[in-house]
Amino acid sequence: MMEIRKYTEVLQKYIWLIAIVLFNSCEEEIQLELNTLEYERIVVEGRITNELKNHTLRLTKTASYFENERVPPLLDAEVYIIEENSETRYDLVLVNDTMGYYETDEFSGIAGETYSLHINYAGESYIATSYLDSVAGMDSLNYVYEYISYADQGFYKIRMSAYEPPPEGDVYIFDIYLNDTLYNDEPGETPYANDLFMNDLYMANVEIMWLPQEEIIADSNHILVRMYSSSEEEYNFIEAFNIETYSGGSIFNGPPANIPSNLKCTTGGIDGLGFFAASSVTTQDMILIKEHDDSTNNPDYER
């Protein structure tokens, strides 16, 4: 399930109706119907990769903004993926009717192929398309430990070295595993980047994640980094998702806007939410040795 992000739990609770209130000499109370089936949408979450394995997607339905229960899974849907050049079809079957996980038989995606996800549900048809791009390999990982005075604690800065190849327009997403557990399992914690200003350059010791000292428990720790190829469309999805869910609240923020999705309804109904992605993957790992106090790089540290 490692390609399943946690976008779903946040997306389901997002208010997709935006009320524009014009103020003049009087006020009018407006009632928004936020929990009617008329505005229910389906949500896709997950990616396929070039790894030989069973690929898993999560399919759910939106819930009322005021509901505190688990979002409802999408059941009884016909779900399949088409590899467009070869016209190979990969069917997905429901393997968890509580969470809405659908799974393929074992196969590996091919770099340079376009994959389309098809969902038939309740008389409507949906399609999401994603190009599986190649990904450059990581040459090495390393880390430095540094005490950050404004945070009053030490951090391990995970760094990567790799050549970023042409052409311009590559996008990358990173998963960081700490002792076999996905560390950045919340959407807002996912490192992602495009190759703007670094196309066709060697990137030495580029920081991709900071790990707080207080969260490193063991003396010796296994760090695994998975780097995925991505697309500009997914990059825009993540950017919009983070802006709308993690950056709001200021009086200077603009009005909320719908988060883009590549799940489109082809039969006249309401488009879906979430994102279906296809990626190549490269991995690199290392051992991180824990600092036992914050004395490193901290001139004010007292034992």
Q: Which long-range contacts (CB under 8 A, 24 or more apart) does 29-37 make?
A: 34/64, 34/65, 34/66, 35/63, 35/64, 35/65, 35/66, 35/67
Residue numbers of the domain that contains 120: 7-289
Tokens matching residue 226: 């998975």
Residues 124 and 265 sit within 8 Å (Cβ to Cβ) = yes
Give domain status of residue 227, yes or no: yes
How many folded domains does the chain comprise? 1
State both tokens at 215: 């969260």
DSSP codes, 261-274 = -S-EESSSS---EE
Q: Is residue 2 part of a domain?
A: no
Task: Look at phi and psi of residue 188 and say left if phi exceeds 0, alpha if psi is from -120 to 50, else beta.
Answer: alpha
Q: What pLDDT, on a 0 to 100 scale, did the predictor assign at position 19?
A: 33
Neighbouring-strand partners of residue 115: 83, 130
Task: Tell me, yes or no, whether 186 lies in a domain.
Answer: yes
Residue 246's pLDDT is what?
73
- Residue 15: what pLDDT? 36
Residue 37 forms part of a structural domain: yes
Q: Does residue 117 lie in a domain region? A: yes
Is residue 266 one of the residues assigned to a domain? yes
Q: Answer for the pair 303, 295: CB distance below 8 angstroms, yes or no.
A: yes
From the list 177, 272, 179, the residue with the least C-alpha distance to 225 is 177
Please give the Cα distance from 49 to 133 (Å, whole number).
Answer: 10
The per-residue pLDDT for 112 is: 96
Query: pTM for the full model?
Result: 0.84
What's the rounded Cα separation, in Å, for the pair 165 and 162?
9
Give the integer Cα–Cα distance in Å for 230 and 227: 9
Question: Cβ(9)–Cβ(71) under 8 Å?
Answer: yes
Do residues 242 and 187 touch, judged by C-beta distance below 8 A? yes
Asked whether residue 147 is domain-assigned, the answer is yes
Written as tens digits, the pLDDT of the chain (303 aa) is: 546 665 665 555 443 333 333 334 445 555 555 556 667 899 999 999 999 999 999 999 998 777 777 889 999 999 999 999 999 999 999 999 999 999 999 999 999 999 999 999 999 999 999 999 999 899 999 999 999 999 889 999 999 999 999 999 999 999 999 999 999 988 788 899 999 888 999 999 999 999 999 999 999 999 999 999 999 999 999 999 888 877 665 656 666 677 899 999 999 999 999 999 999 999 999 999 999 877 777 766 665
Is 229 a domain residue? yes
> How confident is the model at residue 253, as a pLDDT?
64
Extract the tokens encoding 49: 């990769």
Q: How far is CA 51 from CA 113, 167, 226, in A?
A: 14, 24, 12
Q: pLDDT value at position 197? A: 87
